[in-house]
Structures are given as C-alpha cells and as structure tokens.
Amino acid sequence: MSGNPPTDPTVADEIVGAVRSWVDAEVIGNVEAFEHADDFPDAMFEQMCAFGLFGATIAPEHGGLGLDATTYARIIEELSRGWMSLAGIVNTHKIAATMIARFGTTEQQASLLPRMVDGRFRAAFSLSEPDAGSDTRSMRCRARRDGDEWVVNGTKMWVTNGVRASLVMLLAKTADDQITCFLVEKEPGDAFEGITASKKIDKLGYRGLETVEMSYVDHRVPHSSILGGDDGIGHGLQYALSALELGRVNIAARAVGVAQAALDDAIAYAKERETFGKPIAHHQAIAFRLAEMATKVHAARLVTYDAARKFDAGERIDLDAGMAKLFASEAAFEVAMDAVRIHGGNGFTTEYRVERYLRDTPLMIIGEGTNEIQKMVIARRLLAESS
C-alpha cells in the first residue's frame, strides 16, 4: 500500500535543503549541551514544528505537507546527521499518524490528524512490555470492556515521547487474547487519570528525549477510541506491523545519517592529524579504511532509498524494508567504530563527536525489530518467493 503521491522534486529538494542548512547552522554545534545532560532540546523542537515536520506525511486535506516516503527518509537522514535523537522526536509521531491515516475511521482521521500536524499534539507508540518485545503474543497489558468504555491495566516499556505525548497508540489484549489498538488521549506529563510514567529509562545513547515505562491502572477509554472502530477489534497488531514496515525505512535513514556524520568527521580529522610528518589520511591504512567507510555509507543510502521508492510506488516492502534496516544499521555501527579508530585516543573522549555516534548506532540495530528478527523476515520471504 502506497502513501502520499510523489513529491515534486523541486519542492522536495527545497525542504530537504532547508533542513540540511538548519542542521549545519544550529544543530551540530549545539548538540553536546543537551546530549550529555540528557535534556530535551526545546528550541530545536520548536524549529521542527516551524518546518512542519510533524505533519510531513499527513495529507494536505488534514493540513499536512503530504510528503512521500522518499522525501521523508531524506529529511530523517539530515536530522540524524546532526543528532539522531531529533529523528526520534518525530518518528513515533509519524508511526501513529500513518496508522490513523491507513486504518482509522473517518471520524478518527478528522479529529486527530489536523491536530497532529502541530508537534505540540504529539503521539507516542506503545507496543513493547517488560516481557514482550519481539514476542508480541506474550503481551500482558489488557483492556476489559465495561459498557461504552474499556478499562486498561498493564505496563509498557520503551515508550519514546511518553511523557510529552498527548496521544498514545496503545496495543492491549482484549477478549480471546486478541490484540487491539486504542487511541489513548492524555495530558502531557508524568501522570494522567490512571496513566503514570512509572520509570524513566536511562540509555547508552539516544539521549535528550524521554524513554519511559508507562503503567496503566484502571484507566478508562471510550469505545470510540479503538483504532478502526468495531472493525479494528483484534487487528491492532496487524495495523502496528504494517506501520512498522515503513518505520524500518525510517530507522535505516537514521543509520545513514549517523554513518554520514561519522564519515565526515573521520575525513576531517584524518586530514588534520599528522603523524610521521604527514596527515594520517596519506597513510594507506587510514586511506583504505576511509574508502571502505564511504562505500558502506553509499550502499546503505541506496538500499534505504530503494525501499522508500518501492513504498511510494505501492509495492510490498517487507523484504526491502527489512534489508534496508539490517544493512544500514550494521553499516552505521561499523562506520562509527572505524571513525573512533581513526581518531585514536581522542575518539574515546567526549571532546569529539564520534563517541556519540558509536553510542547511538546500537539503537538502530535493536529498534523496530532486532536485526535477528529482520533476518528471519528476509529469509522467510526469500524462501517463499523461490518455491
């Protein structure tokens, strides 16, 4: 299923160029103050709102920009080149918008999508639990019907933007262990009518935005909050997995952005740092490493954009998105590690950005389905197509 129609190339280049210029001018030099303190970048967030990024893929009839997946992937790459956490601020919001646009009722779309164009009405995506990550069938969060309401009880993990969100796409088990998606509206903050951000999760990387554990204790939502209405009961996991396919393209684009940043810093350092009377870039060992890094970044970008283009063309992308996420995330980790090696001892200090790239890249390997899960998906499709 395709999303928005192709974006005019001139418009796409203008938007991506504006984001790139902003990242160069305002993000790259100011990241560390927020990164090491793990503080939310309010001013950067406000600029992302001004760019319209939270409505980037929302259709124009709802007030959004209506960008296609390829243009959006390019934007995510630029944000991640500056600071990967910026892409995280908008990504879960985009997953929610995609689910509502694809599977929501006409009333749900009309009520929520126009508000979601502004990032101040931000969405979070809530699937994982302490004992249920890739194994979604182990989910324990439950919703019990009580007249025209549902009563939700359970605990969710790894909820990005959970505190600041106004809308949570909550996956919970209903009758007969069916998984249903609820559109849970709340006030931003640590607690709201039976919903509590019970623990802030400290992370190796991906800092500057909150990732929390959220607990639901007898929280009530109206029956109308089921994504897709009555037809959506029991189809929540299907809806979520469909949106996560495009989310994997997003993760791949993030990986490309971080890998490009690592390559850029490695090249700059190799040209400046001298040993034995010449820049280390002129030593064959370093030059060969740079060549391999650049090749990996280029290949990762190509496989990512290829998956996005296939989505825009209406083609099935589970295989392509899995390959893009697998290859780009592993390449980003390798390129970041090589950048640290090129920096030598300096790469192990917080004075240089490469240590942040190395801390951020594992998220792409784990997020939106671990790479081991991606390999299973890829192999399953390959075997099915060969029969």
Q: Which residues are catalytic?
A: 368
Cα(221)–Cα(184) distance, integer angstroms: 7
Torsion of the alpha carbons at 80, 243, 130 and 220, rounded to the nearest 10: 120
Residue 294 makes CB contacts below 8 A (sequence gap 6+) with: 263
DSSP 8-class letter at 188: S
- 328 alpha-carbon distance from chain centroid: 14
Residue 191 makes CB contacts below 8 A (sequence gap 6+) with: 197
Question: Strand, coil or helix: what is 65?
Answer: coil
Cα(271)–Cα(251) distance, integer angstroms: 31
Note whether 179 and 172 are within 8 A (CB): yes
Around 58, how many Cα atoms within 13 Å sit in the side-chain half-sphere? 26
